[in-house]
Amino acid sequence: MRVAVLSGGRSSEHDVSLAGGEGVAAGLDAAGHEVVPVTLERDGTWRSGGEELALAAGRGLLGADVAFPVLHGPFGEDGTVQGLLELLDIPYVGSGVLASAICLDKVVAKDLMAQAGIAQVDYAGIRAARWESERETVLEELAALGLPVFVKPARLGSSVGIAKVAAGEDLGAALDDAFAHDPWVIVEAMSAGAEVECSVLGSARDARASEPGEIVIAADWYDYAAKYEPGGMQLRVPAQVSDGARARLRAMAVEAFERFGCSGLARADFFVEGEHVLLNELNTMPGFTPTSVYAKLWAADGLPYAQLVERLCELALERYAEERSYRY
């Protein structure tokens, strides 16, 4: 296959995306495929081989058979690039427009999880306009979540802009900081359970979950430094949870993947409190270096990195063929 690997992007996760793109390109090359690197610059321009690209609807992308958008956060993982790839008429790895948009928006995803009866922590979503006009009322309402809580921009990843708040007097400042990143913010109650992650691979009709892994950190919580600095995090595989909890979280991961209409891949993040399993979120394009959790969990299941990225391209081609068989 000739694969256009997209990385970079306009979000604050630009550098993380570049590292993931390099990993995917190396994996595809090792599997015998031709890689065409495409860099999405911070200003929004697309470049390949040092040249700015001109894109035309229905004309594909650089003659590639499939696109692999290793992009995180807004303008990459939120359905925007997925919509552009649809207009270019090229198969692409990962979820489509709607599933990408839903899963990146933590509040919308949690609202849908609540509607489906999927267990999760308590939470509240706040718009910037309401925070500006009703600060005291918002703080009073958030008191129902207890302390500590986590304050997060609703549509970012990689722990960017997140704060753990243990004292009520610090909540306002944490909200101000989160609103500097996103006009839509989520506040989540804390779970004392183990942080466990599970990788999902496949289609909405036939998805399977990996062996779960437990996140072990020395820090107070799983922040940006713990995720990306050397030695900040250890992945324990298999996770030290009961057989019942393991089976339940794997089933929940696949259920959420299928319910949201995801495709290709996702990483499901959980809290496990004894036998009680809480789904925190679904990431449709998780970190994708060979040492990232998503790939490491599949490697532990016997699927090495090069075969994983190849399989994701095959799934993209299969989904493209199926979707083009319908007459909308």
Q: Establish whether 197 is a catalytic residue.
A: no
| Digit-coded pLDDT (tens) for 210-269 | 999 999 987 665 655 555 566 667 999 999 999 999 999 999 999 999 999 999 999 999
Catalytic residue (choose from 228, 258, 273, 320) = 228
- pLDDT higher at 31 or 157: 31
Mean pLDDT within 155-183: 90
The domain ranges of the chain are 2-93, 101-118+192-284, 123-189
Specify the residue for token string 């690209």: 53
pLDDT for 204 equals 84
Q: If one looks up domain 2-93 in CATH, what number appears?
A: 3.40.50.20
The model's confidence at residue 192, banded by pLDDT at 50, 70 and 90, is very high
pLDDT for 138 equals 98
Burial of 167 (0-12, 13-18, 19+ CB in 10 A): exposed
Q: Establish whether 220 is a catalytic residue.
A: no
Q: Establish whether 228 is a catalytic residue.
A: yes
pLDDT for 149 equals 97
Burial of 297 (0-12, 13-18, 19+ CB in 10 A): buried
What 3-state DSSP class applies to 22?
A: helix
Mean pLDDT within 270-277: 97
CA distances 319 to 22, 27, 72, 81, 294, Å, are 25, 22, 21, 17, 21
Reading the block at residue 80, the tokens are: 């925007």
Fold of the domain built from segment(s) 101-118+192-284: D-amino Acid Aminotransferase; Chain A, domain 1 (3.30.470)
Catalytic residue (choose from 77, 105, 269, 310) = 269
> Distance (Å, rounded) from C-alpha 151 to C-alpha 162?
6
Give percent above pLDDT 70 in the chain. Answer: 95
Q: Establish whether 267 is a catalytic residue.
A: yes
Q: Name residue 293's amino acid.
A: V
For residue 327, pLDDT beyond 90 = no
Q: Establish whether 134 is a catalytic residue.
A: no
For residue 270, pLDDT beyond 60 = yes
Catalytic residue (choose from 155, 248, 250, 267) = 267
CATH class as words, domain 123-189: alpha beta
Q: Establish whether 205 is a catalytic residue.
A: no
- pLDDT higher at 219 or 285: 285
Catalytic residue (choose from 158, 191, 210, 263) = 158
Residue 283's DSSP bridge partners are 267
Catalytic residue (choose from 281, 292, 310, 319) = 281
pLDDT for 291 equals 86
Q: Establish whether 301 is a catalytic residue.
A: no
Catalytic residue (choose from 7, 10, 11, 13) = 13
Q: Which residues contact 297 (CB under 8 A, 6 or more apart)?
A: 197, 198, 199, 210, 211, 212, 213, 235, 237
Q: Establish whether 280 is a catalytic residue.
A: no
Q: pTM of the prediction?
A: 0.93
- pLDDT higher at 218 or 67: 67
2-93 matches 101-118+192-284 in fold = no
| Digit-coded pLDDT (tens) for 79-138 | 999 999 999 999 999 999 999 999 999 999 999 999 999 999 999 999 999 999 999 999
Reading the block at residue 59, the tokens are: 């004309």
For residue 156, pLDDT beyond 90 = no
Catalytic residue (choose from 11, 283, 305, 319) = 283
